[in-house]
Amino acid sequence: MKSYAEYLLLLDGQGALIPQHELELLAGALLDGGIPDVELGALLATVRRPFASGHLLRSLLAALDTRVTRWRGDDRHRPVVIGCYGGATNMPNLAPLLGLLLARFDVPVLMHGPLHADQGVSTALVLRELGIMPCAQAPQVAEELATRRLAFVPDALAAPGLAALLALRPRLGPLPLLVTAARLIDPFDCGALVIAGADSDDEIELMRGSVATNRTRVLLLRATEGEAFANPFRRPRMEYWESGEQRILFDAAEPQARRAAALPAALDVRSTAAWLRQACDGVRAVPTPIVNQLAACLHAVGYCDDFNQAKALAAVATTRRHVA
């Protein structure tokens, strides 16, 4: 390998002149904590720039693939993985709702991310309020998936090296390439469906370039405040990628009036959790875009080979019941 100073110069040109295997070794050194602090700060400052390229992301994902904590799936249904690296500030965090609904279909769901968001309400805190505590050890994750069918895994357990780098964000500022990589993690040996939410059109393009060249299964959509659930007021385009092939399951829809989806009046953890309980119990209507996302997931994991059947099942499962 070259010196870190040489890599810094080459990365300034988006790393195009660095062989792929050297980029993977460099990414591995980043994740393993093997780079001195000064050089580490300089490298992270370089790859955080907006022009961070696809082959940098692919190298980081390749290095991550050998370092994430791994779990086995089961024989019932393909698992779903949801990266939770945002935080609700202007809208309730409904990411747990998608996980809860999928679990009701006996689909194992692993949600991962930091316990606390940099700003706003994190998924981990909402799940905690619902009685779903973060898992502390790998065997606990397997047990939760087998029994409850839903587990939240702190990023420090799912990908320790990546979590250590993301923890530097309060000091170094945003590290978008690392967050993008975190959203694409698949920690299952059997291969999961990864639900990846992108913050911008540029990030969507970056993700497309990555998933188009590997064999992962990904449901790609525009994130809502950094979380991978469909905007309840405007359904985003939902793309299903499998073995490099793309299918558009839902096109983007026109915005709905705010009154079309009765969401929690407050954004705090307790209000959000109470609303989610009511939505799961049929007391509150589940926003149509999230019903659509549920259908897309059921189809993508093989629960229903017929997409129209998946849509019907999702609609029936989320029908609001009249309460006297």
What DSSP string runs through 161-193? HHHHHHTTHHHH---HHHHHHHHT---BTT--E
Q: Between residues 150 and 46, which one has the greater pLDDT?
A: 150
Ranges 38-52, 81-95, 183-197: which has the least confidence: 38-52
Confidence of residue 50 (pLDDT cuts 50, 70, 90): low
261 has pLDDT over 70 = no
51 has pLDDT over 70 = no
SS3 of residue 317 by DSSP: helix
What DSSP string runs through 218-282? EEEEE-BTTBSS--TTSPPPEEEEETTEEEEEE---PPPPGGGS---SS-SHHHHHHHHHHHHTT
Confidence of residue 21 (pLDDT cuts 50, 70, 90): confident
SS3 of residue 195 by DSSP: strand
Q: Between residues 44 and 306, which one has the greater pLDDT?
A: 306
175-203 mean pLDDT: 95
C-alpha to C-alpha distances, 35 to 26, 39, 154, nearest whole angstrom: 9, 7, 24
Give the residue from 222, 236, 249, 241 showing the smallest Cα distance to 288.
236
Confidence of residue 67 (pLDDT cuts 50, 70, 90): very high
pLDDT in tens, 199-211: 999 999 999 999 9
- Cα–Cα distance between 92 and 88 in angstroms, integer? 6
For the chain, the average pLDDT equals 90
Mutual angle of helices 176-183 and 201-211, in 10-degree steps: 50
- Cα–Cα distance between 85 and 174 in angstroms, integer? 12
Which pairs count as long-range contacts for 161-164, CB under 8 Å and 24+ apart, including other chains?
161/30, 161/31, 161/32, 161/33, 161/67, 162/31, 162/64, 162/67, 163/114, 164/33
- Cα–Cα distance between 195 and 123 in angstroms, integer? 15
Query: What pLDDT is stored for residue 74 in this prediction?
Result: 83
pLDDT in tens, 215-229: 889 999 999 999 999
Q: Between residues 45 and 201, which one has the greater pLDDT?
A: 201
Query: What pLDDT is stored for residue 321 in this prediction?
Result: 65
SS3 of residue 283 by DSSP: coil
> What percentage of residues in the chain have a pLDDT greater than 90?
69
Beta bridge partners of 240: 219, 247
- Cα–Cα distance between 49 and 42 in angstroms, integer? 12
276 has pLDDT over 50 = yes
Ranges 9-18, 21-30, 140-149, 260-269: which has the least confidence: 9-18
pLDDT in tens, 133-142: 999 999 999 9
> What percentage of residues in the chain have a pLDDT greater than 70?
93
Angle (CA) 70-77-182 rounded to 5° is: 40
Give the residue from 169, 181, 168 showing the smallest Cα distance to 55.
181
Q: What is the pTM of this model?
A: 0.94
Q: Between residues 55 and 147, which one has the greater pLDDT?
A: 147
